[in-house]
Amino acid sequence: MTTEQTNTQTNTQIDVESFRLEARAWIEANLEPRTHGVLAGRVDSEAKSPEDIARARALQRRLYDGGFAGISYPVEYGGRGLSSLHERAFNEEALGYVTPDFGAAGGVTFGAIGRSLLAHCPPAFLQRHIPRILSGEELWCQFYSEPEAGSDLAGIRTRAVRDGERWIISGSKIWSSGAYLADWAMCLARTDWTVPKHRGLTWFALPTDAKGVTIRQIQQINGNAEFCEEFLDEVEVTDDDIIGEVNKGWAVTQTMLVYERGAGEMGAATVEPRSLAPDLVELARRVGRTADPAARQAIARAHINDYAQYHLGHRIADRLRASATPDPAVAAYGKLASGVLAPIRARLAMEVGGPAALAWAGGDEEAGRTALNYLNGRVTSIAAGTNEMQRNGIGERVLGLPREPSFDTNKPFNEVLNSARHFDSKVG
């Protein structure tokens, strides 16, 4: 079945269970079973090689041609036009099979970026990019955070200046997941310095191999180099590359934050943890501790947390779906839960693994994964906004607590920078 045939057939909705049977038959005929069990509980973000990405692209193309890429994306852009419940059904059926693994770049591409493009870009832009994203031809990353902005999402200083019919972008970005393998980037730049910081921002799409773009990988404590820093030296783009509206980039940012903070497909694409922490049960069997009371208690606690987190995600999803303008502060509940529970789960895995999780035979990557997960256990408590930032957002925007004092929210951004320079010179 070609993509065109599939899209023609999916102009009318099919019920979830019929779709599940269709997906199950296709998966069994086209995907390979996993050889190392399920991926539940893993929080590692290993850097991918070009060979890894090439294999993932080929597999993604197979999904696309079979009609199982972008299941809840619109038909006119290469998707199936079905619901997030259909997407969840496919994920459940594919859980024990090898599916495309683009690393962190894949999660960003098909989640926060893809959904933000759908929400804010015109049809011509979407026709250019979404089919190529769904087929694996385009991987995207975010040129967002900056060294001088810290956790202030609106405090970026990368500038975009209009020059006739083009825009010239200069500045630097950091902590971009998978940028060294991405084809395109969503880049946030300041286009008006005379208004408060949230009002003068614009998002642009730019090719990562464009003239003036330099990407460098950052070595992490766990040995991976999945994060990147970027330097933009007079990179040229046009009005056709604008995402959203000029100087209204904060609206795009709000959409992106909903997905970055764990909403995903509005929470419905997550697979329910029906089995007892299968990755930890597998680990206990490997180290011979299935009858150990301490290991069994750790597995039970992990399963309880997994189950609670899953259903919290669905309560968040219900609230987001009921709102015409989903609030990132509501999605922050899911991000906070992940940031709190991921380190606990990583530690519980170490308790189950015992000495075998601390030392293993050379070359045994599977045995070393428990320790790697432990090193990466606090990633979600920091990336895309720290636990403390999530608590602030929930307290102020959901619970109605008084906002923290701010000196720069309503001041023109150029005045904020001038005041900061003046303060620094006085301190110096």
Q: Which of 73, 167, 87 is nearest to 126 (CA)?
A: 73
Contact 200, 151 (CB under 8 A): no
Alpha-carbon distance of 282 to 34, in angstroms, equals: 14
- List of residues 6+ apart from 150 with CB closer than 8 A: none
Q: Which of 7, 129, 6, 5 is nearest to 76 (CA)?
A: 7
The question of whether 260 is a catalytic residue gets the answer yes
| Candidate list 260, 272, 365, 388, residue with the active-site label | 260
Alpha-carbon distance of 385 to 243, in angstroms, equals: 22
β-sheet bridge partners, residue 232: 171, 213
Contact 9, 22 (CB under 8 A): no
Alpha-carbon distance of 174 to 162, in angstroms, equals: 24
Q: Which residues are catalytic?
A: 260
